[in-house]
Structure formats: structure tokens, C-alpha cells
Structure 1
Amino acid sequence: MNFVQPIRDPAVIDGIKEFLRSESERNYMMFVFGINTGLRIQDMLKLRVRDVQGEHIILIEMKTGKKKWIKITATLRRELKKYTEGMEQNEYLFPSRQGENKPIKRDMAYKIMRKAAKHFGLVDIGTHTMRKTFGYHMYQKTKDITLVQTILNHSDKAITMRYIGMDQNRMDDAMSRFGL
């Protein structure tokens, strides 16, 4: 598995949103959904329209087998409302164009992210980038590593700091100030 980074720059996030929207509403929504929920791609792709109609997304995480409740933010609620208008309750949130009522596959989600990364000259980007971007920006807003650790379901704060790229930020800052 490749090691991916969060997208730290809000302007780049906005650019990616515009780029993906110009390609497809589904691709745009996948990115917006991912960076606003912090879900793993395998959990996102199994969701149906009915799963995002309430105040929370409630699911059993595929990796951990644990039940997870995620509050749908006002931003995400607004986007979901527009996106799901006219969709059936049983439809997958991110439908494939191949076959009837099937979600896109993980490799297609990866291709979507890689195409956006290439367009913006980003490296170390993949589907997990959305989850890491969520974690990074949640930490930047709250400065509460315990909260981010809990949301991401990590066992240790140090793992969360490394996961969201904060260790790298701290090392980069220290090296920028260093000189003999």
C-alpha cells in the first residue's frame, strides 16, 4: 500500500472540487463526502441514498466491525440534498455506469483521485487522502487530537498525529528554523 498525504491547502481543495465537478457530479460528491466525513473508501462506496437522509450516517465499519455514527455537517447536508434530488432511496450514492444499481469500485475511486492529483501536480494522493484530509483539517480547527483520534477510530494519539501528517509538519517546521 502506498503512503498518501492529506491535502493541506484549502485553495487546492477548492480547486479539486471545481475540477471534479466539471467532470462529474458523482466524482465531485465523492470527494466532498470523503473530506467531510472521514470515512474509508470501502465504507463510502457501500452507502445508498437512504443512508444519508437523516441527521447522522450510521454504519458498521468494514475494517473494524464497529458501529459508527457520523453527524452530517450543514455543508455536506446542503450538497447531499442537491445531489440526491431525483434519486431513488435504494440507489447507491456513488453509482457505477456499468451495470444496474451498482456502486463504483475502489479502483475507479482511486483513478478519480489520481486524475485530480495529476491535474494539480500533487504526489502521494489516493482514496485515503480524503480521510486524511478530513483528519488534518478537523485537527487544525479543533486542536483536539483526542477528538480526531476517536473520530478516526485510532488506538493511540501518536498514530493519529502521524496519520494526519502533523509529525511531518512539525519536522518540516523544525528543519526550516534549523541551521548551523
Structure 2
Amino acid sequence: MNFVQPIRSQETINEIKAYFLMDSHRNYMMFVFGINTGLRIQDILKFKVKDVTGDQIVMNEMKTGKRKIIQVNPTLKRDIKKYTANMKPDDYLFPSRQGKNKPLKRDMAYKIMRRAAGEFGLVDIGTHTLRKTFGYHMYQKTKDITLVQSLLNHSDKSITMRYIGMDQDMMDAAMNRFGL
């Protein structure tokens, strides 16, 4: 398995949003949904419109089997409303172009992310980048690693720090300040 990084730059996030919006509204929404919820791609792709139209998303995580309740932030709520305006409640949120009302597959989501990464010269990018980007920016805004740990459903703070790339950022900053 490849190790992926979060997208640390808000400017790059905005540029990727614009790129996806011009390319495909579905791909834009997948990106925005991922970076605003912190969910794993396999959980994101199984959603139907009716699962995400309220103030909260209630689900069971595929990896852990644990129940999770996610508050839908105002930015995401606005984007979901606009995106789903002409969709039926039983439509998949991220439909495949293959077959009638089938969800996008994980490998295609990966290809979509890799194509965007190529456009922006990003390396170490994959579908898990969405989740890591959420965690990284939530930590940057709150400085509350316990909160981020809980949101990502991690068992230890040190795992969360390494997962969102903060360990590497701290080591890089320390080395830049160091000199004998």
C-alpha cells in the first residue's frame, strides 16, 4: 500500500475544487465530500442521496463496523443541496457511468484523484488523501488532537499525529530551526 499525504495548502485545495468543477460535478462533490467529512472512500461511495440530505449523516463504518454520526457543515450542506437537486432519493450520490444506478468504484475514484494530482504536480496522493486532508485541516483549525483522533476513530493520539502528517511537519520545522 502506498503512503499518501494530506493536501496542506488551502490554495491547492481551492485550485483542485475549481479543476474538478470544470471537469465533473460528481468528481467535485466526491472531493468536497471527502475533505469535509473525513470518511474513508469505501464509505463515501456507498451513500445514496437520501443518506446525506439531513443535518447529520448516520452510518456504520465499513472498516470498523462502528456507528458514526457526522454533522454536515454548512459549506457541504449547500454543495449537497445543489448537487442533488435533480437526483432521486435512491440514486447513488456518486454514480458510476457504467450501468444504471451503480456506485462509482474505488479504483475509479483513485484514478480521478491521481489525474487531479498529475494536473497539480502532487505526489503521494490517493483516495485516502481526502480523509487525511480533513484531519490535517481540522487539527490546524482546532489544535485539538483529541478531537481529531475521535473524529477519525483512532485509538491513540500519536497514530493521529503521524496519520495527518504533523509528525513530519514538526520534524521538518525543527530541522529548519536547527543548526550547530
Q: Deviations over 1:13-67 (max 9, x none)?
A: 0000011111100000000000000000000000000001111011100000000
Residue equivalent to 2:12: 12
How many angstroms does 1:179 deviate by? 1.9
**1:29 alignment counterpart:** 29
Counterpart secondary structure, 1:124: coil
Aligned to 2:113: 113
Amino acid at match of 1:43: D
Distance in 2, matches of 1:53 and 1:176, equals 46
Counterpart CA distance in 1 for 2:21 and 2:98 is 20
May I ask how many residue pairs the two structures share in their alignment? Answer: 180
Residue matched to 1:82: 82
What amino acid is the match of 1:14? N
Partner of 1:173: 173
User: Is 2:69 the counterpart of 1:69?
Assistant: yes
- The normalised TM-score by structure 1 is 0.99
Match of residue 52 from structure 2: 52
For normalisation by structure 2, the TM-score amounts to: 0.99
In structure 2, what is the Cα distance between the partners aligned to 1:10 and 1:129? Answer: 14
- Structure 2, unmatched stretches of 5+, are none
Cα deviations by residue, 1:57-101 (Å, 9 ceiling, x for unpaired): 111000000000000000000000000001000000000010010
The separation in 2 between residues aligned to 1:69 and 1:179, in whole angstroms, is 47
Distance 1:71 1:162 in 2: 25
The corresponding residue for 2:128 is 128
Q: Post-superposition shift, 1:2?
A: 0.4
Percentage of identical aligned residues: 72
> RMSD between aligned alpha carbons?
0.5
Task: Give the gaps of 5 or more residues in structure 1.
Answer: none
CA deviation profile, 1:99-137 (whole Å, cap 9, x unmatched)? 010011000000000000000000000000000000000
Distance 2:20 2:171 in 1: 32
2:57 is paired with a residue of what secondary structure?
Answer: strand
| Aligned counterparts of 2:77 and 2:159: Cα–Cα separation in 1 | 30
1:151 matched to 2:157: no
